[in-house]
Amino acid sequence: MLLDMVVVVTTGLADVSLPFFLDAEMERQSVLPFLRLLRVLRLLKIFQVCQPLRIIGRAVVKAFGVVVLVGLVVGVLNFGLAIILTTLVGQRATPWAVDETEEDIETWFGSIGRSMQTLFTIQTLSGWDHIAAVLSGVYPSTVVVPLIIIYMMLCCFAVIGLITSVISDSFMASQQKEQKNQEVGKALRYENVTRHLEEWFFQYGRSLPGCIGREELEKALSEPQVSSLLLSMERPAKKTEILKLYDRINKEPSFSGRVQAGHMAEAVVTLSSEAKVLRAQ
């Protein structure tokens, strides 16, 4: 809601104010078109509406820091390997002149930047076989191929597995937090309904102070405010079910003729939360 308001107000003020200071040509070259693109951010509202997307979004945001750290580790490793490859291969490309692949070696390993770019290409499993074939023209293939495979296993498969596990753990944590928040919200809502029902039952319980009779309970349940309270529950119980519950409680020796308003309110809320199970039985 706040993001939507900020985007609308910002773009609205820009649409209204900038035409007074800029002509049509300057307006097209100004930041106004880019400000209008901010309206795309309103698509983020879908994360507020859809709970699964909200959970996934929180998990990705929490795991982003770990992903950045993993990327830094891979970058440092690639930088070290780039120095070695540039020194041992790129600056000694003469032996590949026999096969007319010297230019390829210089393109791949001619500098540290090129070597890092080549390592990143190998890391994405793109063209590594051709690079291995060219390097094997001078160095033994029994050394080149295993080293490239080990590099790909460390910097590709291991990194992907690590990032996946981090995102999965973050997703589980976000899901548990979301469920906990829902449970807390439900408990607060039930507590609020219980308190209001107790007030209504206490108000109608005139026969005995703090207690409510069956006829008084029927009158209380007929009140629109009480009905709206029951309908606010996740699975509202019917009036007949509540009266049956009262009769069952009233048969107990400790409550015979003296069903307390607070106890009845708690029982009604409990019945409403379990109404689906009771109906199935």
Residue 221, domain member (yes or no): yes
The answer to whether residue 180 is domain-embedded is: no
Same domain, 83 and 41: no
Question: Do 59 and 110 have their domain in common?
Answer: yes
How sure is the predictor about 119, in pLDDT bands with cuts at 50, 70 and 90?
very high
Same domain, 45 and 65: no
The answer as to whether 182 is a domain residue is: no
The reply to whether 124 and 146 lie within a common domain is: yes
Whether 7 is covered by a domain: the verdict is yes
Q: Closest Cα partner for 39 from 10, 19, 79?
A: 10
**Domain match, 108 and 219 both:** no
Give the domain CATH number at 100: 1.10.287.70
Residue 112 inside a domain? The answer is yes
**Maximum Cα interatomic distance, the chain, rounded to a whole number of Å:** 110
Looking at the structure, tell me whether residues 2 and 67 fall in a common domain. Answer: no
Task: Give the helix ranges, DSSP H, for the chain.
Answer: 2-21, 24-29, 32-37, 46-49, 51-88, 102-109, 112-123, 128-135, 141-152, 158-204, 214-221, 224-231, 239-250, 261-273, 275-280
Query: Once rounded to an integer, what is the mean pLDDT over residues 25-48?
Result: 60
Q: Range of 13's domain?
A: 1-49
188-225 pLDDT tens trace: 877 888 888 888 877 776 666 777 777 777 788 788 88
Does residue 122 share a domain with residue 109? yes
Same-domain check for residues 17 and 115: no
Report the alpha-carbon distance of residue 264 to residue 255 in Å, rounded.
11
pLDDT at 87: 92
- Contact between 159 and 74 under an 8 Å Cβ cutoff? The reply is yes
> Which of residues 111 and 54 earns the better pLDDT score?
111
Q: Is residue 40 part of a domain?
A: yes
Does any domain span residue 193? no
Judge residue 23's burial from the number of C-beta atoms within 10 Å of its C-beta, 0-12 exposed, 13-18 middle, 19 or more buried: exposed
Beta bridge partners of residue 214, listed in sequence order: none
CB 85 within 8 A of CB 122: no
What's the pLDDT score for residue 263? 77
Looking at mean pLDDT, say which of 3-12, 39-48, 57-66 comes out highest.
57-66
Same domain, 60 and 131: yes
Same domain, 127 and 217: no
Does one domain contain both 133 and 237? no
Higher-confidence residue: 23 or 183?
183
- The count of domains in the chain is 3
